[in-house]
Structure 1
Amino acid sequence: MAPGTPFDASERRAWANSADAYEASFGRLCAHPIPRLLDAAGVHAGTRVLDVGTGTGSVAVAAGARGARVTAVDADPGMARRAAHAAPDACAVIAALPQLPFPDGQFDAVVGNFVLNHVGRPRAALDELRRVTRRGGRIALTLWAAPAAPGQALLGRAVQAAGVTRPPDLPALAPEDDFPRTEDGLLGLLRGAGLADAACLPLSWDHRTTPQEWWRGPAAGVATIGRIVISQGPAVTERIRRQFAVLAEEFTDRDGSLVLPHAALLASGRVAGSA
């Protein structure tokens, strides 16, 4: 198995103890593609499904509502506990890609909602997902598209406008492990993992939130953007917040809510062979 990378270690720190703040900020955004993600994986009553990178358990809850038999995995213990509470009929496990504690072919379907954004070796991660999926089973994944849609780029623009740069202790994905965050790039990743019938669908939607809700996540240090926001102390965080307030005006509706355009990719494929 591929060992963890500096990027993986950084991600573990970025998401530690963040379940509450994530659920109160970015959680609703990330829940948007869940129905189509489950459809792409063929999740229905009786399906043995693995929800990898479950976070606070939104996918596990939705899969369970379809009558699936759900195993939910997250690298962060706090997230796994939250998922276990949200989806009490699911089996919640603490584990991190690319090393999952399951035998070959255990699941009929594997889903990962934006999990590939948070692993240091995406190809090794996808190989592991294929390993635990039975022959003929399906894998479905979502990924934030690049370039980022305007709403997704808002927080990064505020950081840039405040003159703040990425701290050196937040490593980026190694170039040899990265891949284009495009339809072709994601299809190439799936086909390279040996998945048959690979398909990729672009998704776009407007996420409606409030300035207070959208700022809550980064102000609490959630994810990489949050670690950048809080990296230099309260005065710099406040400077970023002021820039955010100015830039958010272009997305503000008449009722004061934010309408943030987002774009993602939904890819799926089948493990070759018959069950």
Structure 2
Amino acid sequence: MDFDTSERRQWADRADAYRRSFEPLCAHPAPALLDAADVRAGTVLLDVGTGTGTVAAAAYGRGATVTAVDAEPSMAAAARIRVPEATVLVGVLPALPLPTGAFDAVTANFVLNHVGDPAAALAELRRLTRPGGRFAATIWPYPAPTLQSLWADAVRQAGIDAPPGPRLDPERDFPRTEEGVAGLVAAAGWGGVTARRLHWRHEADVADWWSGAESGIGTFGQLVRGLDAASAARLRTAYEELAAPYVTGRRISAPTAALLVTAVREG
């Protein structure tokens, strides 16, 4: 199965599961993302990979005119409910049904890690941005921060034989570091590229956080869904043991991080 097909499968009809589990995590960088894209009253914004519309809603709250796009119909439907004032479309990078140079700013919150050709996606987003317009994106770093590394650590501790998930073709891949993502964006023709790391602690209800994996979200979730009952129970036990230092009562609180890259459409 190729990368893009795998992504469509992982996210199909999972808007409700995402909202319960990973939405608050992915929503955290929204203010910094919008600041980096200079989104304010009057900005004509494209929010690509909008998910359930968290960034789109925050941008509308600043007075922006918002168009939001997601590849997954259930996500687009959720975004329409959340931000009825936005124009919400279903579309798949790197070919979006939108006019060239139509937007003052483009945001992509945890999107570049979900497309099979990141360079082509960035070129398409550059096409859609007016000269002088701004682009801002987040992506998860590698090595993974504590919150996310607990998944892989649990797989090892439980002795689960996890087949490798679909990966980008080597010629399309890039290092998940500040330098790596900045280099990718610059190579796609953007100017004024900067990248920095955001750090925070993610707090969540333990059951809500685990529900994302049970629902099959992400590579780890697909692994959990494919296990027999005994193996799944062993994996969850391993995870709970490793996560115990970060759990108080019904809440988990663990360090995480994201990379924030900003650029300008020059020329």
- The TM-score normalised by the length of structure 2 is 0.96
Change (3 A) 1:165 1:113: farther
Match of 1:51 among 47, 54, 75: 47
Match of 1:17 in 2: 13
Question: 1-side partners of 2:124 and 2:160: how far apart?
Answer: 37
* Residues 48, 108 of structure 2: 8 Å contact kept: yes
Match of 2:258 in 1: 264
Match of 2:182 among 187, 195, 199: 187
Change (3 A) 1:171 1:94: same
Match of 2:93 in 1: 97
Q: Which 5+ residue runs of structure 2 have no aligned equivalent?
A: none
Match of 2:245 in 1: 250
Question: 1-side partners of 2:52 and 2:108: how far apart?
Answer: 13
In the TM superposition, residue 128 of structure 1 has moved relative to its aligned partner by 0.6
* Residues 146, 255 of structure 2: 8 Å contact kept: yes
Match of 2:83 in 1: 87
* 124-133 vs 192-201, which moves further: 192-201
In the TM superposition, residue 234 of structure 1 has moved relative to its aligned partner by 2.9
Q: Tell me whether 1:231 sits opposite 2:226 in the alignment.
A: yes
Match of 2:215 in 1: 220
* CA offsets 1:36-73 (integer angstroms, 9 cap, x no match): 10010111111110110011110110001011111110
* 224-233 vs 201-210, which moves further: 224-233
Question: 1-side partners of 2:171 and 2:185: how far apart?
Answer: 17
Question: 2-side partners of 1:52 and 1:180: how far apart?
Answer: 22
Question: 2-side partners of 1:185 and 1:263: how far apart?
Answer: 16
In the TM superposition, residue 260 of structure 1 has moved relative to its aligned partner by 1.2
Q: Tell me whether 1:78 sits opposite 2:77 in the alignment.
A: no
* Residues 155, 162 of structure 2: 8 Å contact kept: no
Question: 2-side partners of 1:233 and 1:19: how far apart?
Answer: 25
Letter in 2 for 1:210: D
Question: 1-side partners of 2:251 and 2:115: how far apart?
Answer: 33
Match of 1:162 in 2: 158
Match of 2:169 in 1: 174
Match of 2:30 among 12, 29, 34: 34
- Identity between Structure 1 and Structure 2 (%): 51
Letter in 1 for 2:111: V
Letter in 2 for 1:114: F
Letter in 2 for 1:271: R
* CA offsets 1:207-260 (integer angstroms, 9 cap, x no match): 01132121110011112221111112333222211111111112123x442111
* Residues 46, 67 of structure 1: 8 Å contact kept: yes
* Residues 211, 248 of structure 1: 8 Å contact kept: no
SS at match of 1:261: strand
Q: Tell me whether 1:202 sits opposite 2:193 in the alignment.
A: no
* 208-217 vs 124-133, which moves further: 208-217
Question: 1-side partners of 2:30 and 2:131: how far apart?
Answer: 24
SS at match of 2:8: helix
Question: 1-side partners of 2:155 and 2:16: how far apart?
Answer: 23
Match of 1:152 among 127, 148, 153: 148
Letter in 2 for 1:249: A
Question: 1-side partners of 2:157 and 2:225: how far apart?
Answer: 15
Count, aligned residues? 267
Match of 2:125 in 1: 129
* Residues 111, 139 of structure 1: 8 Å contact kept: yes
